[in-house]
């Protein structure tokens, strides 16, 4: 039983190291050194908020 636990622990450690090297590390480097760090762009007023003046009508809900 101890042998099985040791083997599982070893395999799990190797699997997590590979997962970290393939997915987590490149993703963090992409975020850190990427050109566009934030998807949204600031508006001229200095805010990310988009003001949408739209009065909903019953036809708008029927399109859904």
pLDDT at 37: 61
Contact 42, 48 (CB under 8 A): yes
Q: Residues 11-64: pLDDT tens digits? A: 999 999 999 999 988 888 887 787 666 667 777 777 777 778 888 888 888 877
DSSP state, residue 44: T
The phi, psi pair for 36, rounded to 5°, reads -105, 100
Determine the pLDDT at residue 29: 84
| Cα gap 4→15, rounded to integer Å | 16
pTM higher than the cut 0.85 = no
Q: Which domain holds residue 57?
A: 2-62
- Report how many domains make up the chain: 1
Query: What pLDDT is recorded for position 17?
Result: 96
């Amino acid at each position: 039983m101890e042998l099985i636990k040791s083997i599982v622990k070893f395999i799990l450690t190797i699997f997590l190291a590979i997962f970290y090297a393939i997915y987590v590390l490149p993703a963090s480097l992409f975020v850190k050194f990427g050109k566009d760090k934030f998807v949204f762009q600031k508006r001229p007023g200095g805010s990310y908020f988009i003001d949408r003046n739209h009065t909903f009508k019953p036809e708008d809900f029927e399109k859904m």
